[in-house]
Amino acid sequence: MLTRRGGWELSSASFCTALLLLHVAVVLPGVVSSQSLKNSNVTATFPWLTLSGDTPLVIAKGGFSGLFPDSSSFSYKFSYVAGSPDTISWCDVRLTKDGNGICLPDIVLDNCTNIKLVSLAQAILSRSNKFDASLFPILTVEDLVAQIKPAKLWLNIQHDIFYRQLNLDMRRYLLYLSKHNIPSYVSSPEVGFLSSIVGRFRKSKTKLIFCFLGEDTIEPSTNVTYGSLLKNLTFVKTFASGILIPKYYIWPVTSSGYLESYTSVVMDAHREGLEVFASEFANDVLFSYNYSYDPLAEVLSFIDNGIFSVDGVVTDFPITASEAIGDVQKWTIDMHNLVYKRVGAGLEVTWHSDVNVSNPVELEVGKLGYSLNCSRIILFLAI
């Protein structure tokens, strides 16, 4: 049951910006279609140990933010082009002065935008900034829904108390969105905020998720640490239907980078009827040595270890989590100037963009991978 992988069908999706044109459209000879994967009833043969027994969810943090500026249209689009169609788009909601919700990864504008041009920029220095030149505009939540049509939307609301001090009403904004059936998930690290909306959302399909920060960090509305709230899941259940925890809450890592044995948090939360989502998955940062640098192995240890499975993972590289779940897709690419060739056990798809990559990067994406080289983007797909 390790990789649950079948093959890929490349079908259609058009995908372009002014500066970078990615138009793919191929049918691969000899590749098993995704239909056969879907038909193999893997979940029926191997029930998942998630709370519902359903397939774990893949939540793309700001889209495919491991590659493109977090929360840019390209980033969100690419998470669907190169990942599962069921991927959930994550948006960190900030309010503008006039009370509009926008998706921005950082409350400090300098850190994630080019302020002069008001466009999104790569905030993580170790990642390529080559796409910044595309001048991605900041998206409102409604832009995101209209332009990307995400399968589901996850709104993360980090600083309600801060906005309240500025007389901005996040609660009202959220209720406005929910009238339009917009969010599927709403997460927040503030007990007070979730408690204030839980009544209004009880009858809706939107799930409220309580987000744990560092174990020693004080939760501002209860004045106790997140570590102690973790011991009081009965209380958490009164205002949330799930929890979002950093991955080390589940598999702690020693200071020297070795994995310790798992904690009971997933089982404890499931017993309480709470779903568990794990965050902080990224392929380009150091993770425990026990995974031998394989980010796919890391995801599998959270969803497919025979003992428990988290109900979803929040990741900057959604393709890896989709691959782990065996839900790599149906992607339909419509691409000019496409070159593909078999490389060993994989497929290399190359396409040209109008932008020269000044700083080529090569990134491991589990068994799938991509690299950027000069003006080419190369996607490696395992077959």
Ligand X SMILES: *[C@@H]1O[C@H](CO)[C@@H](O)[C@H](O)[C@H]1NC(C)=O
Indicate whether 232 belongs to the interface with ligand X (CB under 6 A).
Answer: yes
Distance CA 90, CA 82 (A): 16
Work out how close the CB of 142 gets to ligand X at its nearest, in angstroms, rounded to a whole number: 26
Backbone angles phi, psi at 227, to 5 degrees: -60, -40
Distance CA 299, CA 292 (A): 13
242, two tokens:
């799930």
Alpha helices by DSSP H, listed for the chain, are: 34-39, 42-45, 73-81, 109-112, 141-148, 160-165, 170-179, 191-201, 226-230, 233-237, 265-271, 295-303, 318-325
Indicate whether 375 belongs to the interface with ligand X (CB under 6 A).
Answer: yes
Give residue 274's region: left, alpha or beta (phi > 0; psi -120 to 50).
beta
Give the one residue of 261, 306, 341, 359 binding ligand X; rule: CB under 6 A. 261
Work out how close the CB of 209 gets to ligand X at its nearest, in angstroms, rounded to a whole number: 18
Indicate whether 46 belongs to the interface with ligand X (CB under 6 A).
Answer: no
Candidates 131-139, 270-278, 330-338, 370-378: pick the segment binding ligand X (CB under 6 A): 370-378
Sites for ligand X among residues 113-172 (CB under 6 A):
none
Which residue do the tokens 């935008």 mark? 113
Candidates 95-103, 106-114, 166-174, 180-188: pick the segment binding ligand X (CB under 6 A): 106-114
Indicate whether 223 belongs to the interface with ligand X (CB under 6 A).
Answer: yes
Indicate whether 286 belongs to the interface with ligand X (CB under 6 A).
Answer: no
Which residues partner with 95 through β-bridges? 101
Indicate whether 291 belongs to the interface with ligand X (CB under 6 A).
Answer: no
Q: Which is nearer to ligand X, 41 or 255 (CB)?
A: 41
Residues in binding contact with ligand X, number by CB under 6 A: 23
Which residues partner with 373 through β-bridges? 376
Q: Which is nearer to ligand X, 111 or 217 (CB)?
A: 111
Q: Which is nearer to ligand X, 174 or 230 (CB)?
A: 230
Sites for ligand X among residues 301-360 (CB under 6 A):
354, 356, 360
Q: Within the chain, how many helices (H) and strands (E) appear?
A: 13, 23
Give the one residue of 23, 31, 133, 235 binding ligand X; rule: CB under 6 A. 235
Contacts with ligand X, 171-210, as mask; x by CB under 6 A: ----------------------------------------
Indicate whether 33 belongs to the interface with ligand X (CB under 6 A).
Answer: no
Indicate whether 106 belongs to the interface with ligand X (CB under 6 A).
Answer: yes
Give the one residue of 259, 297, 361, 363 binding ligand X; rule: CB under 6 A. 259
Indicate whether 222 belongs to the interface with ligand X (CB under 6 A).
Answer: yes
Asked if 105 contacts 39 with a C-beta cutoff of 8 angstroms, the reply is no
Indicate whether 41 belongs to the interface with ligand X (CB under 6 A).
Answer: yes
Q: Which is nearer to ligand X, 207 or 291 (CB)?
A: 291
Indicate whether 79 belongs to the interface with ligand X (CB under 6 A).
Answer: no
DSSP string, 256-307: TS-B----SHHHHHHHTT-EEEEEEE-TTS---GGGTT-HHHHHHHHH-SSS
Give the one residue of 18, 30, 44, 359 binding ligand X; rule: CB under 6 A. 44
Strand ranges inside 45-123, DSSP E: 57-61, 88-95, 101-103, 113-114, 119-120
Asked if 106 contacts 138 with a C-beta cutoff of 8 angstroms, the reply is no
Work out how close the CB of 352 gets to ligand X at its nearest, in angstroms, rounded to a whole number: 9
Give the one residue of 71, 156, 279, 371 binding ligand X; rule: CB under 6 A. 371
**DSSP 3-state of 314:** strand
375, two tokens:
């003006």
Rg (CA), the chain: 20
Work out how close the CB of 21 gets to ligand X at its nearest, in angstroms, rounded to a whole number: 12
Contacts to ligand X by CB under 6 A: 39, 41, 44, 106, 108, 110-111, 222-223, 232, 235, 258-259, 261, 290, 354, 356, 360, 371, 373-375, 378
